[in-house]
Structure 1
Amino acid sequence: MAVSLTACEPAPKPTTSPESSSHAPSADLSEAEKAQVLASLPTPYNAASLEEGKKQFGKCRSCHVLIETTATTTGPHLYGVFGRKAGTEGGYPYSDAMKAHDVTWDFATLDAFLTKPRDAVPGTKMAFLGIKDAKDRENLLAYIAVETAKKPQ
Protein backbone atom coordinates (compact mmCIF):
# COMPACT_ATOMS: atom_id res chain seq x y z
CA MET A 1 0.00 0.00 0.00
CA ALA A 2 1.37 3.41 -0.92
CA VAL A 3 1.43 5.98 1.83
CA SER A 4 1.48 9.69 1.11
CA LEU A 5 4.13 11.52 3.07
CA THR A 6 2.09 14.61 3.70
CA ALA A 7 4.89 15.84 5.94
CA CYS A 8 6.89 16.72 2.81
CA GLU A 9 4.03 18.68 1.27
CA PRO A 10 2.13 21.66 2.63
CA ALA A 11 -0.90 20.54 4.59
CA PRO A 12 -4.29 21.52 3.22
CA LYS A 13 -5.89 24.35 5.13
CA PRO A 14 -8.67 23.37 7.52
CA THR A 15 -12.16 23.41 6.08
CA THR A 16 -13.90 22.94 9.40
CA SER A 17 -14.98 25.46 11.98
CA PRO A 18 -12.33 27.79 13.43
CA GLU A 19 -12.33 25.77 16.65
CA SER A 20 -10.21 22.77 15.81
CA SER A 21 -9.90 19.91 13.41
CA SER A 22 -9.80 16.46 14.91
CA HIS A 23 -7.52 15.17 12.16
CA ALA A 24 -5.00 12.88 13.78
CA PRO A 25 -2.95 11.76 10.76
CA SER A 26 -0.82 8.93 12.09
CA ALA A 27 -3.81 7.35 13.81
CA ASP A 28 -4.80 6.38 10.26
CA LEU A 29 -1.56 4.46 9.72
CA SER A 30 -0.71 0.93 10.78
CA GLU A 31 2.70 0.22 12.30
CA ALA A 32 3.77 -1.30 8.96
CA GLU A 33 2.69 1.87 7.12
CA LYS A 34 4.57 4.03 9.63
CA ALA A 35 7.65 1.88 8.98
CA GLN A 36 7.14 2.42 5.24
CA VAL A 37 6.95 6.19 5.71
CA LEU A 38 10.07 6.12 7.89
CA ALA A 39 11.95 4.14 5.24
CA SER A 40 10.96 6.72 2.60
CA LEU A 41 12.57 9.61 4.49
CA PRO A 42 15.93 10.95 3.38
CA THR A 43 19.11 9.67 5.01
CA PRO A 44 19.82 9.79 7.99
CA TYR A 45 16.20 10.31 9.07
CA ASN A 46 15.11 7.00 7.50
CA ALA A 47 17.16 5.14 10.13
CA ALA A 48 15.86 7.15 13.08
CA SER A 49 14.14 5.73 16.15
CA LEU A 50 10.50 6.76 16.32
CA GLU A 51 10.40 5.74 19.97
CA GLU A 52 13.30 8.09 20.75
CA GLY A 53 11.72 10.76 18.55
CA LYS A 54 8.54 10.53 20.58
CA LYS A 55 10.59 11.08 23.74
CA GLN A 56 12.22 14.12 22.16
CA PHE A 57 8.80 15.48 21.16
CA GLY A 58 8.04 15.62 24.88
CA LYS A 59 10.21 18.77 24.85
CA CYS A 60 7.92 20.30 22.21
CA ARG A 61 4.53 19.11 23.44
CA SER A 62 3.89 22.00 25.83
CA CYS A 63 3.82 24.44 22.90
CA HIS A 64 3.11 22.40 19.74
CA VAL A 65 0.66 19.77 18.50
CA LEU A 66 0.93 17.46 15.51
CA ILE A 67 -2.68 17.76 14.38
CA GLU A 68 -4.11 20.25 11.96
CA THR A 69 -5.96 22.86 13.99
CA THR A 70 -6.93 26.50 13.86
CA ALA A 71 -6.81 26.78 17.64
CA THR A 72 -3.94 28.97 18.79
CA THR A 73 -1.50 27.41 21.22
CA THR A 74 1.79 28.75 22.56
CA GLY A 75 3.38 27.71 19.25
CA PRO A 76 1.93 26.88 15.83
CA HIS A 77 0.75 23.35 15.06
CA LEU A 78 3.32 21.24 13.24
CA TYR A 79 0.95 19.40 10.92
CA GLY A 80 2.24 20.07 7.41
CA VAL A 81 5.35 21.88 8.63
CA PHE A 82 7.51 20.09 6.04
CA GLY A 83 7.13 22.09 2.83
CA ARG A 84 5.62 25.14 4.56
CA LYS A 85 7.26 28.55 4.34
CA ALA A 86 8.41 29.77 7.75
CA GLY A 87 6.01 32.11 9.53
CA THR A 88 3.02 31.51 7.27
CA GLU A 89 0.64 29.11 9.04
CA GLY A 90 -2.62 31.02 9.30
CA GLY A 91 -4.02 31.91 12.68
CA TYR A 92 -0.72 31.99 14.53
CA PRO A 93 0.82 35.37 15.52
CA TYR A 94 4.44 34.85 14.40
CA SER A 95 7.23 37.24 15.35
CA ASP A 96 8.39 39.64 12.65
CA ALA A 97 11.69 37.74 12.68
CA MET A 98 9.98 34.44 11.83
CA LYS A 99 7.80 36.08 9.17
CA ALA A 100 10.98 37.45 7.58
CA HIS A 101 12.84 34.12 7.85
CA ASP A 102 12.86 33.22 4.16
CA VAL A 103 13.02 29.43 4.25
CA THR A 104 10.71 26.59 3.42
CA TRP A 105 10.87 24.03 6.20
CA ASP A 106 12.47 20.74 5.28
CA PHE A 107 14.71 18.34 7.19
CA ALA A 108 17.82 20.51 6.76
CA THR A 109 16.20 23.83 7.68
CA LEU A 110 14.31 22.36 10.64
CA ASP A 111 17.44 20.58 11.86
CA ALA A 112 19.42 23.83 11.73
CA PHE A 113 16.63 25.73 13.50
CA LEU A 114 16.21 23.14 16.24
CA THR A 115 19.94 23.15 16.98
CA LYS A 116 19.67 26.64 18.46
CA PRO A 117 16.46 28.49 17.48
CA ARG A 118 17.45 31.95 18.71
CA ASP A 119 20.69 31.86 16.73
CA ALA A 120 18.95 30.54 13.61
CA VAL A 121 16.21 33.19 13.77
CA PRO A 122 17.28 36.12 15.96
CA GLY A 123 14.11 37.68 17.38
CA THR A 124 12.01 34.51 17.29
CA LYS A 125 9.40 34.19 20.04
CA MET A 126 10.42 30.58 20.53
CA ALA A 127 12.08 30.44 23.95
CA PHE A 128 13.28 26.85 23.52
CA LEU A 129 17.08 26.65 23.78
CA GLY A 130 17.48 23.88 21.20
CA ILE A 131 18.59 20.27 20.92
CA LYS A 132 22.38 19.92 20.78
CA ASP A 133 22.59 16.23 19.91
CA ALA A 134 22.27 15.56 16.16
CA LYS A 135 20.82 12.07 16.69
CA ASP A 136 18.13 13.48 18.99
CA ARG A 137 17.17 15.99 16.28
CA GLU A 138 17.12 13.23 13.63
CA ASN A 139 14.83 11.09 15.80
CA LEU A 140 12.55 14.06 16.53
CA LEU A 141 12.23 15.15 12.91
CA ALA A 142 11.57 11.60 11.72
CA TYR A 143 8.90 11.24 14.40
CA ILE A 144 7.21 14.49 13.33
CA ALA A 145 7.34 13.44 9.65
CA VAL A 146 5.83 10.02 10.35
CA GLU A 147 3.24 11.29 12.82
CA THR A 148 1.98 13.87 10.34
CA ALA A 149 1.84 11.46 7.39
CA LYS A 150 -1.54 10.20 6.28
CA LYS A 151 -3.04 7.60 4.02
CA PRO A 152 -4.09 8.74 0.55
CA GLN A 153 -7.82 9.38 0.20
Structure 2
Amino acid sequence: MTRKAVLTSVVLTLILAACGESDSATPSPQPQTHGGAPETTATADEAQAILSGLGEPYASANLDNGRRLFRRCASCHTLGADDRHLVGPNLHGMFGRQVGEAEGFRFSRALEQADFVWTKAELDQWLANPRTYLPGNRMSFAGLRDESDRNDLIAFLAVETAR
Protein backbone atom coordinates (compact mmCIF):
# COMPACT_ATOMS: atom_id res chain seq x y z
CA MET A 1 0.00 0.00 0.00
CA THR A 2 1.35 3.42 -0.89
CA ARG A 3 1.90 6.08 1.73
CA LYS A 4 -0.95 8.13 0.25
CA ALA A 5 -3.31 5.13 0.45
CA VAL A 6 -2.34 4.51 4.08
CA LEU A 7 -2.93 8.16 5.00
CA THR A 8 -6.27 8.15 3.18
CA SER A 9 -7.31 5.00 5.06
CA VAL A 10 -6.32 6.50 8.42
CA VAL A 11 -8.18 9.75 7.72
CA LEU A 12 -11.29 7.86 6.58
CA THR A 13 -11.20 5.68 9.70
CA LEU A 14 -10.93 8.77 11.94
CA ILE A 15 -13.81 10.50 10.14
CA LEU A 16 -16.03 7.43 10.42
CA ALA A 17 -15.16 7.03 14.10
CA ALA A 18 -16.05 10.68 14.78
CA CYS A 19 -19.42 10.09 13.12
CA GLY A 20 -20.12 7.03 15.23
CA GLU A 21 -19.47 4.57 12.41
CA SER A 22 -16.54 2.27 11.88
CA ASP A 23 -14.82 0.33 9.17
CA SER A 24 -15.41 -3.40 9.65
CA ALA A 25 -11.65 -3.97 9.80
CA THR A 26 -11.22 -1.40 12.57
CA PRO A 27 -12.41 -2.25 16.08
CA SER A 28 -14.97 0.21 17.37
CA PRO A 29 -14.03 2.19 20.49
CA GLN A 30 -17.70 2.23 21.50
CA PRO A 31 -19.15 0.03 24.24
CA GLN A 32 -21.64 -2.59 23.15
CA THR A 33 -24.66 -0.64 21.97
CA HIS A 34 -28.10 -1.09 20.53
CA GLY A 35 -28.84 1.41 17.80
CA GLY A 36 -26.01 3.73 18.84
CA ALA A 37 -26.87 4.02 22.53
CA PRO A 38 -26.01 1.71 25.41
CA GLU A 39 -28.65 -0.65 26.64
CA THR A 40 -29.97 0.43 30.02
CA THR A 41 -28.25 -1.85 32.50
CA ALA A 42 -30.06 -0.68 35.62
CA THR A 43 -33.00 -2.65 36.89
CA ALA A 44 -36.33 -0.87 36.92
CA ASP A 45 -36.08 -0.52 40.71
CA GLU A 46 -32.56 0.93 40.52
CA ALA A 47 -33.59 3.39 37.83
CA GLN A 48 -36.67 4.46 39.75
CA ALA A 49 -34.65 5.00 42.94
CA ILE A 50 -32.16 7.20 41.09
CA LEU A 51 -34.89 9.19 39.33
CA SER A 52 -36.98 9.60 42.49
CA GLY A 53 -33.94 11.14 44.14
CA LEU A 54 -33.79 13.72 41.34
CA GLY A 55 -37.46 14.68 41.74
CA GLU A 56 -39.68 15.95 38.96
CA PRO A 57 -39.53 16.26 36.01
CA TYR A 58 -36.86 13.53 35.99
CA ALA A 59 -38.82 11.00 38.06
CA SER A 60 -41.37 10.75 35.25
CA ALA A 61 -38.92 11.15 32.36
CA ASN A 62 -38.94 8.84 29.34
CA LEU A 63 -35.73 6.80 29.59
CA ASP A 64 -36.28 5.24 26.16
CA ASN A 65 -36.34 8.70 24.61
CA GLY A 66 -33.26 9.63 26.64
CA ARG A 67 -31.46 6.57 25.27
CA ARG A 68 -32.47 7.53 21.71
CA LEU A 69 -31.26 11.09 22.27
CA PHE A 70 -27.94 9.81 23.62
CA ARG A 71 -27.24 8.37 20.15
CA ARG A 72 -26.25 11.93 19.21
CA CYS A 73 -23.69 11.90 22.00
CA ALA A 74 -22.36 8.34 21.63
CA SER A 75 -19.85 9.14 18.89
CA CYS A 76 -18.01 11.41 21.35
CA HIS A 77 -18.92 10.16 24.86
CA THR A 78 -19.00 6.85 26.70
CA LEU A 79 -20.87 6.09 29.92
CA GLY A 80 -19.46 2.96 31.58
CA ALA A 81 -17.05 2.98 34.51
CA ASP A 82 -14.39 1.15 32.49
CA ASP A 83 -15.03 2.86 29.14
CA ARG A 84 -12.32 5.06 27.67
CA HIS A 85 -12.54 8.69 26.62
CA LEU A 86 -13.35 9.39 22.99
CA VAL A 87 -13.40 12.85 21.40
CA GLY A 88 -15.27 13.91 24.55
CA PRO A 89 -14.75 12.64 28.09
CA ASN A 90 -16.29 9.51 29.54
CA LEU A 91 -19.36 10.69 31.47
CA HIS A 92 -19.42 8.01 34.18
CA GLY A 93 -19.89 9.61 37.60
CA MET A 94 -20.32 13.08 36.14
CA PHE A 95 -23.08 14.28 38.48
CA GLY A 96 -21.41 15.99 41.42
CA ARG A 97 -18.04 16.16 39.64
CA GLN A 98 -16.22 19.45 39.12
CA VAL A 99 -16.45 20.63 35.51
CA GLY A 100 -13.29 20.04 33.51
CA GLU A 101 -12.18 17.08 35.60
CA ALA A 102 -12.04 13.55 34.24
CA GLU A 103 -8.80 11.68 34.73
CA GLY A 104 -6.89 11.27 31.50
CA PHE A 105 -8.94 13.71 29.42
CA ARG A 106 -7.61 17.05 28.19
CA PHE A 107 -10.36 19.67 28.39
CA SER A 108 -10.55 23.01 26.64
CA ARG A 109 -9.23 26.01 28.56
CA ALA A 110 -12.84 27.23 29.00
CA LEU A 111 -13.80 24.03 30.82
CA GLU A 112 -10.57 23.87 32.81
CA GLN A 113 -11.17 27.41 34.08
CA ALA A 114 -14.91 27.05 34.70
CA ASP A 115 -15.96 26.84 38.32
CA PHE A 116 -19.05 24.74 38.82
CA VAL A 117 -20.10 21.20 39.61
CA TRP A 118 -22.19 19.12 37.21
CA THR A 119 -25.74 19.07 38.53
CA LYS A 120 -29.03 18.42 36.74
CA ALA A 121 -29.59 22.20 36.53
CA GLU A 122 -26.10 22.91 35.11
CA LEU A 123 -26.42 20.05 32.64
CA ASP A 124 -29.86 21.28 31.55
CA GLN A 125 -28.43 24.72 30.73
CA TRP A 126 -25.38 23.17 29.06
CA LEU A 127 -27.48 20.85 26.88
CA ALA A 128 -29.73 23.71 25.77
CA ASN A 129 -26.75 25.34 24.02
CA PRO A 130 -23.19 24.44 25.07
CA ARG A 131 -21.60 27.18 22.94
CA THR A 132 -23.44 30.05 24.60
CA TYR A 133 -23.47 28.49 28.06
CA LEU A 134 -19.68 28.32 28.18
CA PRO A 135 -18.08 30.18 25.27
CA GLY A 136 -14.74 28.78 24.16
CA ASN A 137 -15.48 25.13 24.86
CA ARG A 138 -14.70 22.63 22.07
CA MET A 139 -17.98 20.72 22.11
CA SER A 140 -19.50 20.82 18.63
CA PHE A 141 -23.01 19.78 19.73
CA ALA A 142 -25.54 22.51 18.89
CA GLY A 143 -27.83 21.70 21.81
CA LEU A 144 -31.32 20.39 22.53
CA ARG A 145 -33.95 23.11 22.37
CA ASP A 146 -36.83 20.97 23.65
CA GLU A 147 -37.00 20.98 27.46
CA SER A 148 -38.69 17.57 27.71
CA ASP A 149 -35.93 16.05 25.53
CA ARG A 150 -33.31 17.55 27.84
CA ASN A 151 -35.16 16.15 30.86
CA ASP A 152 -35.28 12.69 29.27
CA LEU A 153 -31.58 12.79 28.37
CA ILE A 154 -30.57 14.01 31.83
CA ALA A 155 -32.64 11.24 33.45
CA PHE A 156 -31.03 8.63 31.18
CA LEU A 157 -27.55 9.98 31.98
CA ALA A 158 -28.30 10.02 35.70
CA VAL A 159 -29.25 6.34 35.60
CA GLU A 160 -26.46 5.22 33.29
CA THR A 161 -23.59 7.15 34.87
CA ALA A 162 -24.47 6.41 38.48
CA ARG A 163 -23.25 2.81 38.56
Q: TM-score range by the shorter chain?
A: 0.7 to 0.9
Q: Structure 1's 43 and 97: CA in aligned 2 closer, same or farther, altered over 3 A?
A: same
For residues 40 and 72 of structure 1, the distance between their equivalents in structure 2, rounded to whole angstroms, comes to 28
TM-score, normalization by structure 1: 0.76
Q: Of the two, which has the highest radius of gyration?
A: 2
For residues 149 and 85 of structure 2, the distance between their equivalents in structure 1, rounded to whole angstroms, comes to 27
1:3 corresponding residue in structure 2: none
For residues 83 and 115 of structure 2, the distance between their equivalents in structure 1, rounded to whole angstroms, comes to 23
Q: What are structure 2's unaligned runs of at least 5 residues?
A: 1-37
Aligned with 1:34 (options 42, 47, 71) = 47
Shift of 1:42: 2.3
Q: Structure 1's 61 and 70: CA in aligned 2 closer, same or farther, altered over 3 A?
A: closer
Aligned with 1:138 (options 151, 156, 159) = 151
2:126 corresponding residue in structure 1: 113
1:49 corresponding residue in structure 2: 62
Shift of 1:70: 6.6
Question: Which has the higher relative contact order, 1 or 2, with Cα contacts under 8 A spaced 6 or more apart?
Answer: 1
For residues 70 and 56 of structure 1, the distance between their equivalents in structure 2, rounded to whole angstroms, comes to 19
Aligned with 1:61 (options 74, 78, 81) = 74
Write out per-residue CA displacement over residues 71-117 of structure 1, whole angstroms, 9 at most, x where no aligned residue. Answer: 33110011011000100111111000011111100000000011100
For residues 128 and 100 of structure 1, the distance between their equivalents in structure 2, rounded to whole angstroms, comes to 20
| Structure 1 residues 13-24: aligned runs within 5 Å | none
- Larger helix proportion of the pair: 2
Q: What are structure 1's unaligned runs of at least 5 residues?
A: 1-23
The aligned length equals 125
CA-based RMSD? 1.7
Aligned with 1:73 (options 83, 86, 94) = 86
Moved beyond 3 Å, runs of 4+: none
For residues 53 and 70 of structure 1, the distance between their equivalents in structure 2, rounded to whole angstroms, comes to 20
For residues 83 and 106 of structure 2, the distance between their equivalents in structure 1, rounded to whole angstroms, comes to 12
